Structure 1
Amino acid sequence: MRYVCGHKIPDSDSIVGAVALAYLFNQIGIKSQAVRTGEINDESRFILDKFCLDEPIFKDSFKDQDIYLVDFNNYQEGADDLVDANIVGITDHHKMGGIKTSKPLDVWIRAVGCSNTIIKEMFDFYDIKIPKNIAAAMCCAILSDTVIFKSPTCTKIDTTTCKELAKIANIKEYKKLGLEMFNVKSNIKGVAIDQLIKRDFKSFDMHGKKVGIGQLEVVDITLFDDIKEQLKDGLRQVKEDEGFDTCLLLLTDIIAMGSLILVASDSIDVVQRSWDIKVVDSEFWLDRCLSRKKQIVPYIEQNFKQ
């Protein structure tokens, strides 16, 4: 059995990618199962429910088992025993993360905005027809990861692929669907502070410093007005409890096209130097910042190197 799995705090690209790839591999004769190592978020559940797709089963141990990674390629974001698994392949759109294998593997990595863009290419390569409901979910994953084509990570390949998937799925107003998804993602009422911080949170080793970066994307940043101070306190707690040097939380407004970034750090000078800004009251605004991958990680990582 081949297990297809995304990162341990899965987003829609990770969840849908596992479902789509497991279907593809089964069609070409490789017995496969879509799995997840973390909880499904509201947006991903909306997509699965809307298009009648089964959610990947929960599985957090892969020692001596075949696993295919989707939407990540490092040990930090995988199961605790990923280093002892037999990694047979990777489909991803992030920088290389240090995975080592004893045997050759199947690797599909592209500089695009979404892993599902690459998965569509894989379906085409193997000449496998994509079912309508899977095509619809893949379309949603691209809309999510590229922030409805607004993110600087979005490429022409992403937009073209999304439109092709929408055509397969008979979705005529795909941007309207994207806004519907982001409205679901914007629902933070009643969610615990620690769950919000960890909703889309990634950990990085930046030249010996442990750095955590989370992101919450909404259609109106004023939704955070009543809980912003609680988010700051919660971020400081995560930093202390988990031994981070620096934790950032991006509160991203996809309509205003920018992010209010909350900061808990022992290296404030590094944070300020990274974007030539001043951190005031544990926060700063970064205009037109929508992407953690392209507009946050490279800048702060480079400055930790100095």
Structure 2
Amino acid sequence: MPHIDMQRKVNVIGHRHPDTDSVCSAIAYTYLKNQLGGNCEARRAGQLNRETEFVLQYFGAQPPRLCTDVRPQVKDIDIRRQPGVDGDMSLKAAWELMRSVEIDTLCVTSEQKELLGVITIKDIATANMDLLDTAVLAKARTPYRNVLSALNGKLLTGSDSGVIDKGRIYIGAASSDAMEAYVHAGDIVILSNRIESQLYAVECGAGCIIICGGVTVPQTILTRAQEKGCRVITTPYLLYDVAKLLSQAAPIRHYMKTEHILKFNLNTPVEEAQKVMASVRLRYFPILDEEGLYCGVISRRNLLNVHRKRVILVDHNEKTQAVDGLDEAEILEIIDHHRLNAVETVNPIYFRNVPMGCTCTIVYQMFLENQVEIPKRIAGLLLSAILSDTLMFRSPTCTPADEAAAAALSKTAQVDIPAYAQQMFEAGGDLTGKTPEEVFLSDFKIFSSGEVRFGVGQSIYMTEKSRAAAKKLIGPYLQRVSVQQGLPLIFYMFTDVPNEFTDLMFAGTDAGEIVASAFHVQPEGQTAVLPGVMSRKKQLIPPLMAAVQERIK
């Protein structure tokens, strides 16, 4: 078994419309890889059939998570983990943060990391240009802590825990008499060292006076300010500087964008994100995790370094049977027992293809080769897949290696093969509450021969009653699925395990003639009886392929 860099997760996945072998080989091979130090996760490419559901429940195994597309997602990009900021942050602090970390967008979040808004450097520049709004600090309910921070100030009276909720900014450069006419209750007054102006501002009901130049404030002013409930702040900056800096104390929540925010989540396809980014003139976009909470930002630059999803294919090697987006994924390994119609890979890979009845037999041998102990649960899954794919050793694809593996696994799983197989096949044949589509797609694969594509489904039945019920349910559906799947030919195998034959139902142009030519039988209506035919892979597909190719010629 090859060594693989497992820092990033690897998806181990079977074919579309997964059967028991596809699912169980994914789970078992994932367990083996992880025991050897890997970072793998078993996935499934479609809905589970009832046989597989029975197997997983019987041995207490969790169904793999669904994965129908392996195209890159936002989670496969190097996301910039820029922390969210508090909405009370001042414009000045936000601008300084943007400069220090070289980013032009900040995401405002709650303590629980909920995305509340977004502010850009353009928003800050626009806010700083609005010089005539002297009530901006009150409108924005600016915390006094922001004022102290912006002015490098020191609070001499009052508390820094409050917010500015009324008043305007006034520069007290005029005479004291003139100031009385302009200063109103709650105003913020910027002053120099003129004591009489300071006192007048306090007496006029100012909510806060700011003394510039780092001068000492007389105790009489402080005492009167305390009595009037007026905060006194001193700052080393001169009056002109304070006038410029004060509006930058406003909190960014007053300016941030809160509606129609362009954002993505971790599962957003990269292709979709690229289209959105190309349509707007923004540089950074917030990212939300699976719980809808903020986790970082991405930019167009991040899209240049997309990490392909890493996959290991089990129980198939054909692109037509694989999940969507396989061309955009990195295939690391293929473990299979079917005919070769291998997908293209960028690099050389580990490809193990053995003519056995079941992929899980190959996986079992890999456990032995790597001297990894097989737990009871995994043994049960491996055994179930072998019994399913070999039709309890009746299929012509079954090999001595399959039978030997099953015998050994049955001891570890502590099950009696005949009794357990009977339960498993009966569970798979149960049609209660099933729609024709669900039954048909439970084990359905698409094959191609030249320019012709056709689909073949199969169901396994232990009793004549369940097989007849399935034929009655699926028969009328075949023509419709041919149109839905865009396939000119559709075949469905109703396989009778105890009596070892298959009723083959078909639909499509010349389907009857193709069946007659392939199997030398005379179909009746839309069905042909194929004695001894049990295996889709070995007994059905090769003759069908030959007949289709001959038809094309």
Query: One fold, TM greater than 0.5?
Result: yes
* Post-superposition offset of 1:225: 3.4
1:26 aligns with 2:26: no
1:198 aligns with 2:441: yes
Give the one of 66, 69, 83 matched to 2:313: 69
Alignment partners' CA distance in 2, 1:225 and 1:12: 23
Write the mapping of 1:25-104 to structure 2, written as runs, cut at 5 A.
25-63=33-71, 64-104=308-348
TM-score normalised by the chain length of structure 1: 0.96
Query: Taking CA–CA contacts closer than 8 Å with sequence separation of 6 or more, which of the two structures ends up with the larger relative contact order?
Result: 2
TM-score normalised by the chain length of structure 2: 0.54
* Post-superposition offset of 1:229: 4.7
Pair 217,104 (structure 1): closer, same or farther in 2 beyond 3 Å: same
Pair 248,156 (structure 1): closer, same or farther in 2 beyond 3 Å: same
Q: Give the letter aligned to residue 423 of structure 2.
A: E
Pair 299,3 (structure 1): closer, same or farther in 2 beyond 3 Å: same
Partner of 2:483, secondary structure, is helix
Contact 1:221-1:252 within 8 A present in 2 as well = no
> Pairwise CA RMSD of aligned residues?
1.3
Q: Give the letter aligned to residue 25 of structure 2.
A: G
Q: Give the letter aligned to residue 324 of structure 2.
A: D
Contact 1:207-1:304 within 8 A present in 2 as well = no
Q: Give the letter aligned to residue 74 of structure 1.
A: E
Write the mapping of 1:73-152 to structure 2, written as runs, cut at 5 A.
73-152=317-396
Q: Which shows bigger deviation, 86-95 or 228-237?
A: 228-237
Contact 1:112-1:154 within 8 A present in 2 as well = yes
Pair 194,181 (structure 1): closer, same or farther in 2 beyond 3 Å: same
Partner of 1:247, secondary structure, is strand
Counterpart in the other structure of 2:422: 179
* Post-superposition offset of 1:305: 1.6
* Post-superposition offset of 1:226: 5.0
Contact 1:232-1:264 within 8 A present in 2 as well = no
Counterpart in the other structure of 2:471: 228
Partner of 1:296, secondary structure, is helix
* Post-superposition offset of 1:241: 2.6
Alignment partners' CA distance in 2, 1:166 and 1:120: 12
Contact 1:213-1:247 within 8 A present in 2 as well = yes
Q: Give the letter aligned to residue 70 of structure 2.
A: F
* Post-superposition offset of 1:169: 2.1
Q: Give the letter aligned to residue 300 of structure 1.
A: L
Rg comparison, structure with higher value: 2
Q: Give the letter aligned to residue 508 of structure 2.
A: S
Q: Which shows bigger deviation, 263-272 or 142-151?
A: 263-272
Displaced runs of 4 or more, over 3 A: 224-230
Alignment partners' CA distance in 2, 1:91 and 1:280: 39
Q: Give the letter aligned to residue 135 of structure 1.
A: A
Structure 2 unpaired stretches of 5+: 1-8, 72-307
* Post-superposition offset of 1:98: 2.8
Give the one of 149, 157, 160 matched to 2:404: 160
**Percent identity of equivalent pairs:** 29
Counterpart in the other structure of 2:178: none
Pair 228,61 (structure 1): closer, same or farther in 2 beyond 3 Å: closer
